[in-house]
Amino acid sequence: MTKGRISAELKTVALIITALLAAGCGQQSQSVPARTAREQLLISTAADRALSRMDYRPLRGKRVFVEPGPLESYEHQYVLSKFKNAVAFYGGLVVQWRAMADVIVELRSGALSMNESSFLFGIPEIPLIIIGSGFVLPEIALFKRVRQTGEAKLEYFAYDAFDSTLIASSGTRLGSSKATSYTILLIGPFTFDNLPGFPLEVKGYSFSMEDEVKDER
């Protein structure tokens, strides 16, 4: 058996092993659109929890124009709409034009995004070149953890539409959410989170406007 033939057979075996490994591996898409559904849920849930900690009673009975301040996020329209919903729910009258308002409210965010960290015990993806062809040896995860957290830091302040005197300031309100995925011995990922409606929802984070109104009455 010649040296060249041995080399060719080894290359063939390597290709077969790689094909078998690739056939048994699954991959979860992270960001095909700008945000995955889970990423959107993490950020919007963190925003919901920050908004739920605000006091809207100073706006009750007043005509309110909501002026968006710095809200840098893909979810800023959702946050703005949810804030207006809360103002109206607690008795404020949200108006569309600044000239119609008794009170101007500015909503701003210090953070409205997410973090991600990961840990892998195993072999990461390895790019290989054999016989002029390039391919990637898939990741082999004996243990892998991917942790994602949504973070929101929101605040509003309200002032008189006529003389600009301060009426109310919510102070900084924080909200967070999390999701953790595990892959063990190539099996997974298994995801656990504290998003509303999921089995592992953390008590104390769920919020019901109806419940709070009943408490005030």
Q: Which amino acid is at 98?
A: R
Helix runs in 24-89, H state only: 37-51, 76-89
pLDDT, tens only, 145-171: 999 999 999 999 999 999 999 999 999
**Of 180 and 132, the one with more pLDDT:** 180
* Rounded (10°) angle between helices 209-216 and 76-89: 30
Alpha-carbon distance of 63 to 53, in angstroms, equals: 22
With a cut of 50, say whether residue 63 has pLDDT above it: yes
With a cut of 70, say whether residue 141 has pLDDT above it: yes
pTM of the full predicted structure? 0.69
- Given this model, what pLDDT does residue 28 score? 56
Kindly state the average pLDDT of the residues 120-134: 80
pLDDT band with cut points at 50, 70 and 90 for residue 137: confident
Q: How far is CA 196 from CA 44, 54, 89, 113, in A?
A: 11, 19, 21, 18
Burial degree of 63 (CB within 10 A; 0-12, 13-18, 19+) = middle
Residues whose CB falls within 8 Å of the CB of residue 125, separated by 6 or more in sequence, listed in order: 136, 137, 138, 139
- Given this model, what pLDDT does residue 33 score? 65
